[in-house]
Structure 1
Amino acid sequence: MYRAKGRFWEIDFLRGLAVVLMLGYHFLYDLDFFRLAEFELNSGLLSYIGRGAAEMFILVSGAALSISYSRANGTGSSSSTSASHSSSTLASFSATSSSSTSSSALTTSAFPSKLFRKYLRRGLKLFTLGLVLTAVTRIFLPERYILFGILHFFGVSAILAYPYLRLKEVNLLMALLFFIPGYWLGTRTFGFSTLIWLGFRPEHFQALDYFPVFPWFGMVLLGIYLGNSLYAGGIRQFAVPAFEGSGAVKGFAWLGKHSLFIYFIHQPLFLALLWTAGYLDLNLI
């Protein structure tokens, strides 16, 4: 089934699947963190689930950004269609901005500077939400507070991605230029902290959430490549089964559409659930 307008159910479904994996992983993380149960989260299956959820969020966000850009820039047959997918980057978890995905798209007469301001506003919004998490975790978990987590990353990547949104194969090469140095940086620590956001981790650095530009922006670029290849011009270039009417698909898609909101509230809800059940002493937080 090809489509030139509206949302693509498979995009929302994949984002919703990532939400489910994230919720499961983070709930187990909380149980382990507060010593209510023991789980090996840094290796084995659970580590793959946690990392896989983040990778799926970021990959889908890159694809969603490219779809939005194609439609807003008028490169597809539906230039007046709403830029429906990039507004929920999450998230990011992105290139996740919010669940409102029906804002009016820019037409072919739009100036590039106006398009850029759209992504700049989205990026600043996400980065601001990230700063809220920084403040909250700095108060309650000062030893592992979030300095540059996935919301910060999505905010920065929404802006950095703009020059790459019209590219295709070049993004594969550019992705490698982020993956390879990112892997190298991940094996080392440094005597300074000013470049944490890029991937230069200082010694003894610990954080509840950490997504530096190297290597993770490479995943955004890979998603943009997939979006420009599989959804060229904002139009699906392949046939998919008509599963959007399925109850299960609708459920996952709903989660995907509201991924940013879910991400922002899920930890307070988990803590409230554990406290209500009598498993958590709030003095431990």
Structure 2
Amino acid sequence: MTHQRFDALDALRGLAMVWMAVYHFVFDLNYFKLVTQDFYRDPFWTWQRILIVSLFLLCAGMGQAIATAQGQSWRRFWRRWAQVAACALLVTVGSWLMFPNSFIYFGVLHGLALMLIVVRLTAHWGRWLWLLGALAIASKFIAESLLQTGPFASWADILNSMRWNWLGWISQNPVTEDYVPLFPWLGVMWWGVASGAWVLRHRPEWLAQPMLPGMHALAGLGRWSLSYYLLHQPVLIALVGGMSWLL
């Protein structure tokens, strides 16, 4: 079966990658003390991170809806999944070398690897994905509230530990440079699947429309998003680090 790519979705994914690169560029400037920003508490930066990850996972969910509709084989799925998982491992190793006390053990690629399996198994659930997405997102905030006080507070230390905090049902954020747990982010990806299925069924022309001038570069970037994600930070760190050394 032919596996058609849609430039519009690739361009949207490319936009998320460019936005992420700008965010990381300023993060690196801050790391090398060329600017002063609080990336962990300032709402300007924390909300940007939320929006960037949301856009990326929405695109990933829409991509899975399209792949499912086009009859993607499990063999093809596992080949792509293995690439994501391998890159997640590289991120862990690289971040441990640079941030040994806050290395990334469950960042966006780790979360994506797990969510891809869940989404693959549930992509045909149709409209239920809207409700499941809402419940997945809500569960994070419900768990946070329950773990603060009351009978469930005794579970806080267990769920906050590295062994279980990949679930996202925590009362205290872990010390790590990137953290994208299963909940609430699976809900965002489920909404991406539901959105992609709706567009394919009711508005397929949105995906097939001609690209605006200048958008082809974004689409090309979106087609190589995994490679871009893996390489952009080492390049930015080298550039910013060089600037810091020269200054």
CA drift at 1:178:
1.0
**Aligned partners of 1:260 and 1:240: how far apart in 2?**
21
Provide the residue aligned with 1:49 in structure 2. 48
CA 1:17–1:195: 2 relative to 1, 3 Å:
same
Letter matched to residue 271 of structure 1:
I
CA drift at 1:255:
1.5
CA contact (8 A) 2:135 2:187 kept: yes
2:18 corresponds to 1:20: yes
CA contact (8 A) 1:59 1:223 kept: yes
TM-score by length of 2: 0.84
CA 1:118–1:190: 2 relative to 1, 3 Å:
farther
Q: Deviations over 1:119-170 (max 9, x none)?
A: 3343233122211211222232111100101111111111111222112210
Equivalent residues, number? 233
Structure with the larger helix share: 2
TM-score by length of 1: 0.73
CA contact (8 A) 1:196 1:202 kept: no
CA drift at 1:218:
0.5
CA 1:131–1:241: 2 relative to 1, 3 Å:
closer
Letter matched to residue 197 of structure 2:
N
Letter matched to residue 32 of structure 1:
N
Aligned with 1:198 (options 163, 167, 181): 167
CA contact (8 A) 2:32 2:241 kept: no
**Aligned partners of 2:208 and 2:76: how far apart in 1?**
33
**Aligned partners of 1:124 and 1:186: how far apart in 2?**
32
Letter matched to residue 211 of structure 2:
E
CA drift at 1:50:
2.2
CA contact (8 A) 2:84 2:226 kept: no
**Aligned partners of 1:152 and 1:122: how far apart in 2?**
14
Structure-to-structure mapping, 1:1-285, within 5 angstroms: 6-41=4-39, 42-72=41-71, 115-185=73-143, 190-191=157-158, 192-201=161-170, 205-232=174-201, 236-239=203-206, 242-244=209-211, 246=213, 248-277=214-243, 279-280=244-245
Letter matched to residue 29 of structure 2:
L
Letter matched to residue 116 of structure 2:
A
CA drift at 1:15:
0.6
Letter matched to residue 219 of structure 1:
V
Q: Deviations over 1:158-204 (max 9, x none)?
A: 11112221122100111122111122345665343311221145867
**Aligned partners of 1:202 and 1:131: how far apart in 2?**
26
**Aligned partners of 1:137 and 1:255: how far apart in 2?**
24
CA contact (8 A) 2:140 2:169 kept: no
**Aligned partners of 2:180 and 2:218: how far apart in 1?**
25
CA 1:186–1:267: 2 relative to 1, 3 Å:
farther
Higher relative contact order (CA 8 A, sep 6+): 2
Q: Deviations over 1:1-58 (max 9, x none)?
A: xxx9732221011111101110111111111223221124343433332221111000
Letter matched to residue 152 of structure 1:
H
SS in 2 for 1:56: helix
Taking only the aligned residue pairs, the percentage that are identical comes to: 25
Q: What are structure 1's unaligned runs of at least 5 residues? A: 73-105, 107-114
CA contact (8 A) 1:61 1:223 kept: yes
CA contact (8 A) 1:193 1:202 kept: no
Q: What are structure 2's unaligned runs of at least 5 residues? A: 148-155
Q: RMSD of aligned C-alpha atoms?
A: 2.5
**Aligned partners of 2:168 and 2:106: how far apart in 1?**
10
